[in-house]
Amino acid sequence: MTLTHDQREIAIGLLIEKSHRNMEQAVKNAGLDYWDLVANRLYYSLFMLLLP
Q: Are 7 and 23 in contact (CB under 8 A)?
A: no
CB 45 within 8 Å of CB 17: no
Measured between alpha carbons, how far is 45 from 27 in angstroms, rounded to an integer?
Answer: 12
Indicate yes or no: pTM above 0.85: no
Give the DSSP H/E element, type plus range, for residue 2.
none
Cα separation, 44 vs 42, whole angstroms: 5
Q: Give backbone dihedrals phi and psi of 45, rounded to 5 degrees, phi first.
A: -60, -45
pLDDT in tens, 1-52: 799 999 999 999 998 999 999 999 999 999 999 999 999 999 988 887 887 5
| pLDDT score at 1 | 79
